[in-house]
Amino acid sequence: MKRLLFIASFGASLLGTRVFAQNTAEAAVLRIPEAEASSEKEMKPYSEKIEHSQAKIDMIPIPGGTFQMGSPDSEPNRLADEGPVREVSVAPFWMAKMEITWDAYDVWMSDLDVFYREVNKVKATVRDDLADEFQKSQPTKPYTDMTFGMGKQGYPAICMTQHAARTYCKWLSRKTGRYYRLPTEAEWEYACRAGTTTAYSFGDDPAELETYAWFADNAGEGYHKVGLKKPNPWGLHDMHGNVAEWVLDQHVPEGYPLELRKANPLLVPKTLYPRVVRGGGWDKPSEACRSTSREGSTEDWIAQDPQSPVSIWYLTDALHVGFRVVRPLNEPTEEEKNTFWEYSEPIQKERPVPLER
């Protein structure tokens, strides 16, 4: 009898452990029905919510496919680093409809959701607890107004390092239970082109760019609110101009290394400079906003940084640089994330700074 009672008790304990683990796993995901898909056909647009804030990120499904990456020798204003043209295939993913705004970025950068919970005595969720690793005191406080007076609510976040953008993606992944990262350079160009083969997603005539982009000819003294210009054929706004956008790849000034894989290529960064931003920006000429135009980061982007050592989070002189996020349909394994999708060298570290409250 005792043996039977022990077995029954052990079985109940094991069942309870499994139920607890299942409930914990489910609680780690902020459920949004439109965000759920097991195949490309099931993918829908959805709005990602950032809890304890009013911020959201609209996501657009991007079908998988194959395209010719890079610009042909015949394209006007083509630079050497835009080739050679190569056939590349990418798997389906969701991409942010617009550049990440200060509304969404400041929740992480300034711990706004943490303050909200503390002030309103809101109990932290499982997701909040998981996100804390990439939240509190990361990044350290900025040393100046990082908008540089150009506008905040509804405007694109700028001046972050690639490391900061990567860390934001890790925080957002924990905060929502869905895996977000920066796009690869191939994913970015594929989404920007949106099935086109012309210099821009709307054609070859730069005279039409004003309808789709904020750039040197029409932006004035700074960036503009996201989503005010016409989208590309797949519904993505501001892929041309407004702010350039970080991607995951290392930049090679001589062009694309031929050894890169044809399926989902990524040149994992092994040096801090240069890394790739795409899309031009509010202060760039029309040719820098072409679908294939590339720019590599430089140390000049931190020339006026007053800190010693310089910040790993902020770029004082990159007022044209922001980012948007993607979410692959098929989430990679943790090993793949750590060795491929999220890995870069050198490892960025900053002296510890206590969280101020």
User: What digits encode the pLDDT tens for the residues 66-83?
Assistant: 999 999 999 999 999 999
Reply yes or no: is the peptide bond before residue 92 cis, omega within 30 of 0: no
- Of the candidates 91, 165, 177, which has an alpha carbon nearest to the alpha carbon of residue 325? 165
**Tally of CB atoms within 10 A around 82:** 22
In this prediction, residue 248 carries a pLDDT of 98
Confidence of residue 8 (pLDDT cuts 50, 70, 90): very low
**What architecture (CATH level 2) is domain 45-341?**
Alpha-Beta Complex (3.90)
pLDDT above 70 as % of the chain? 91
pTM: 0.92
Cβ proximity of 266 and 184 under 8 Å? yes
Of residues 15 and 79, the one with the higher pLDDT is 79
Cβ proximity of 315 and 273 under 8 Å? no
Q: What is the pLDDT of residues 156-198, one digit of tens each?
A: 999 999 999 999 999 999 999 999 999 999 999 999 999 999 9
Confidence of residue 103 (pLDDT cuts 50, 70, 90): very high
Looking at the predicted structure, is the pLDDT value of residue 211 above 50? yes
Looking at the predicted structure, is the pLDDT value of residue 53 above 60? yes
CA dihedral for 192, 193, 199, 201, sign (positive or negative): negative
Residues 6+ apart with CB under 8 A from 207: none
Domain spans, the chain: 45-341
- Of the candidates 309, 299, 291, which has an alpha carbon nearest to the alpha carbon of residue 275? 299
pLDDT above 90 as % of the chain? 83
Confidence of residue 141 (pLDDT cuts 50, 70, 90): confident
In this prediction, residue 355 carries a pLDDT of 43
Look-up of token digits 């990418």: 90
Q: What is the pLDDT of residues 243-256, one digit of tens each?
A: 999 999 999 999 99
Confidence of residue 137 (pLDDT cuts 50, 70, 90): confident
Look-up of token digits 């770029």: 315
Looking at the predicted structure, is the pLDDT value of residue 12 above 70? no
In this prediction, residue 308 carries a pLDDT of 77
Looking at the predicted structure, is the pLDDT value of residue 21 above 80? no
| Single-letter amino acid code for the residue at 284 | K
Cβ proximity of 134 and 163 under 8 Å? no
Reply yes or no: is the peptide bond before residue 139 cis, omega within 30 of 0: yes
Residues 6+ apart with CB under 8 A from 337: 179
Looking at the predicted structure, is the pLDDT value of residue 22 above 70? no
Edge-to-edge strands, sheet with 56-62: 46-49, 56-62, 93-96, 326-328
Looking at the predicted structure, is the pLDDT value of residue 9 above 60? no
**Tally of CB atoms within 10 A around 142:** 16
- Mean residue pLDDT across the chain: 91
- DSSP type of residue 310: P
CA dihedral for 294, 296, 301, 302, sign (positive or negative): positive
Confidence of residue 20 (pLDDT cuts 50, 70, 90): very low
Cβ proximity of 311 and 167 under 8 Å? no
Q: What is the pLDDT of residues 309-339, one digit of tens each?
A: 889 999 999 999 999 999 999 999 999 999 9
In this prediction, residue 136 carries a pLDDT of 82
Confidence of residue 6 (pLDDT cuts 50, 70, 90): very low
- Of the candidates 53, 40, 37, 193, which has an alpha carbon nearest to the alpha carbon of residue 109? 53
